Amino acid sequence: MRVLSVVGARPQFVKLAPIARAMRNQIDHVVVHTGQHYDERMSDVFFRDLEIDAPDVNLAVGSGGHGTQTAAMLAGLEPVFKEHEPDWVLVYGDTNSTIAAALAAVKIHIPVAHLEAGLRSFNRRMPEEHNRVLTDHASDLLLAPTQVAMGHLEREGLLRRSVLVGDVMTDVLFSVRDQVRKRGVALPEGFERGRYRVATLHRPDNTDDPQRLTQILEGLASLDLPVLLAVHPRLKTLALQHGITLQRGAIVPIDPLPYPELVAAVMGSAGVITDSGGLQKEAFLLGVPCTTVRPETEWVETVDLGWNVLVSDDLSQLPSAVQRSMPKATDATPYGDGTAAQSVVETLLSWRG
Minimum distance from residue 4 beta carbon to ligand UD1 (Å): 19
Q: Which residues contact 15 (CB under 8 A, 6 or more apart)?
A: 7, 92, 93, 115, 116, 168, 169, 172
End-to-end CA distance of the chain: 16
Q: How far is the CB of 233 from ligand UD1 (least distance, A)?
A: 3
Q: Is 39 in the site for ligand UD1 (CB under 6 A)?
A: yes
Q: How far apart are CA 351 and CA 121, in angstroms?
A: 28
By CB under 6 A, is residue 86 in contact with ligand UD1? Answer: no
Least Cβ distance, residue 286 to ligand UD1 (angstroms): 19
Alpha carbon distance 56, 83 (integer Å): 12
Q: Which is nearer to ligand UD1, 23 or 128 (CB)?
A: 128
List 26, 42, 84, 351, residue binding ligand UD1 (CB under 6 A): 42
* Closer by beta carbon to ligand UD1, 45 or else 344: 45
Per-residue CA distances from 143 to 140, 164, 291, 344 (Å): 10, 6, 28, 7
Q: Does 106 bind ligand UD1 (CB under 6 A)?
A: no
Least Cα distance to 90 among 53, 141, 36, 145 occurs for 141
Does the annotation mark 37 as catalytic? no
The stretches of the chain forming alpha helices (DSSP H) are 10-23, 44-49, 66-84, 96-107, 127-138, 147-155, 168-183, 204-207, 210-221, 233-242, 259-267, 277-285, 300-304, 318-322, 340-350
Q: Which is nearer to ligand UD1, 35 or 336 (CB)?
A: 35
Answer for the pair 276, 252: CB distance below 8 angstroms, yes or no. Answer: no
Closest separation in Å from C-beta 63 to ligand UD1: 3
The only residue of 4, 10, 166, 187 in contact with ligand UD1, by rule CB under 6 A: 10
Which of 5, 95, 170, 280 lies at the binding interface for ligand UD1 (CB under 6 A)? 95
Ranges within 110-169 binding ligand UD1 (CB under 6 A)? 127-128
Q: Which residue, 141 or 239, has its beta carbon nearer to ligand UD1?
A: 239
Minimum CB–partner distance for residue 130 and ligand UD1 (Å): 9
Which of 66, 202, 232, 242 is catalytic? The answer is 202
Residues between 200 and 219 that touch ligand UD1 (CB under 6 A)? 202
Which has the closest alpha carbon to 56: 106, 25, 20? 20
Write the DSSP symbol of residue 55: P
Instruction: Out of 33, 37, 120, 197, name the contact with ligand UD1 by CB under 6 A.
Output: 37
| Span of 92-100, 115-123, 279-287, 314-322 interacting with ligand UD1 by CB under 6 A | 92-100
Q: Which of 188, 210, 233, 258 binds ligand UD1 (CB under 6 A)?
A: 233
DSSP string, 144-190: ESSHHHHHHHHHTT-GGGEEE---HHHHHHHHHHHHHHHH--PPPTT
Residue 331 dihedral angles phi and psi, to the nearest 5°:
-110, 15
Give helix 96-107 / helix 66-84 axis angle, nearest 10°: 50
Q: Which window, 31-39, 170-178, 286-294, 307-315, contacts ligand UD1 (CB under 6 A)?
A: 31-39
Query: Which residues are at the interface with ligand UD1 (CB under 6 A)?
Result: 9-11, 36-39, 42, 63, 94-96, 127-128, 202, 232-234, 237
* Residues marked as catalytic: 202
